[in-house]
Structure 1
Amino acid sequence: GAAAELVPEDQFGFGGSSRLLNPGIGIKGVRVSVLGWLHYDLGIELNDKVLAFLRDSVDALPRTGYGVFENGIAEGGFAPTVSYAGRVAGDSSTGLYLGGALHYYLGVAYLRSSISAGFRTGASIFTGPNPVTPLDSGLTSYSKPGNALGHGVGGDVGVAWISGPIELGVGVNDIGATLTWSDTRQDSVFYRDSSFSKPFKNHVSTTTKLPVSYVANVTYTVGKTTLGADVLNTGRGSTVHVGGEQLLGLIAVRGGVARDQRKRIEFGFGGGVRLGPLGLDVGFWTHTNSLSNERGVTMATSFSIY
């Protein structure tokens, strides 16, 4: 029925890269700062037997393995950064701007896993004294806080063109960002009467790579109205955002729509107020789980000092 259409044939999951706080100082376009960074990615894929059973209504078979494959990574840390952004041609009304940043990534902790989990049916389907036998095997690698820091170098580049009310920009982040973790522990995971893990290797060197992200955006401002759109790809498909802002005295009203990585339409709205050097904003946006058409709503607030 319709439920079978929800079963994903390809790998599904979620992931992304985030830039957290970025305190620093700047002089004439040159800025020295320390930014926090976070990267996470989780992918799950059903094996052929599970797909046939759930999606194609194929009968379960005896002495057959049914399971899923999981690959995931989470890592985070901070990065001392030197950056520059400034106008290289034109004037304040029409000009070309270039920017770039060099990061020295320091990883505080990371975890990576590759696991196959499921069960094997017995001689009779889901009946008898031993209807199924759990299956679990894989490898996890991790470097916990307090171990030697991960090290790597990467950079960002961007270009923007401004002509009157129109602004166009293109940027690429985390170019060449590969980290080496010199103090990694690897554990094997398996099932034998119950789930177990045991050390496989310790104090080994491993590497991780941050996904390169691409962004392109355009804005158009006329009077107190600003319209904008952007396309962002962080390694798991592209997201598209289109929205606008209308100033009403001290209050800003905002709204927009987006197409997420799973090509589903989402909505956002919110507003803000600015009183002198202080600003308060609130926003709401919808999101959809991977295997459901039901939307959830998230709220975010921010307080700014200009």
Structure 2
Amino acid sequence: MPDTPDIWTTLKVLTWTTGYLTEKGVENARREAEWLLCAATGLDRVGLYLNFDKPLSGDELATARALVSRRGRREPLQHILGTQEFDGLSFAVTPDVLIPRHDTETLVEQVLLRVPGARSILDIGTGSGCIAVSLAKRLPEAAVTAVDISPDALAVARHNAAQHGTAVEFLQGSLFQPVAGRSFDLIVSNPPYIPSTDLEGLQPEVRNFEPRLALDGGPDGLDAYRQIVADAPQHLTRGGWLLLEVGAGQATDVTVLLAESGFAATIVATDPAGIERVVGGRHGSD
């Protein structure tokens, strides 16, 4: 917003910010302007509307300018605010982790539907820890282990687990390497699945700010799935399940990988938008 001596009321800042973000190509500009102004003023959304005519203080205006400038550069709102809601919980997020998506809640839902009695769970590529922590909250009798190759991501995940009072075991390393010789009733993963050639076409928020390691799935987007599906049987109890989030249009290919590795009772589940989002299968027989 212009640095002028004008009186900037809550409504004036909100209106200007909405227009500015719209010009910068931000979707849902009005709602995001509200969130940014809430962060700058300490008000909630109801408070904003009850204080439309209230001028912002100098400090509030300076904070608002800084936050809006960051969002105008297409830095993700979640990085600016530092949190993202997932499965009814608030998770800290940083540029070191993939921002939790509500699509991924479908994976949590499928765990509760398919394997509610799992006593041991492995989350591969945990990132922010949103899946592992959510499952630890939902299935308190289960022992949850989460691995990630990035120590910085694990630091965020450990913080989130502590914030929600969950005793998740976090291990650093690639895929199954940190759990050599161990087996689990359930393995879950939301691996990188964007084909390498598609990365430059992603929204600036994703392309420029989220970790490439969590996005790049190789030439066809399936590199991580091939490795996970091939090695998972060695780490599943008999009758255990492997459940994977997949990108749009990948469900059939991943189902074939599961069948080729001997998984039975393969399933495909759609997210709220009707996109095939989760693929899974059972190892051996019950």
Q: TM class by shorter-chain length?
A: under 0.3
Q: Which has the higher helix share?
A: 2
Normalising by structure 1, what TM-score?
A: 0.24
Normalising by structure 2, what TM-score?
A: 0.25
Q: Which has the higher strand share?
A: 1
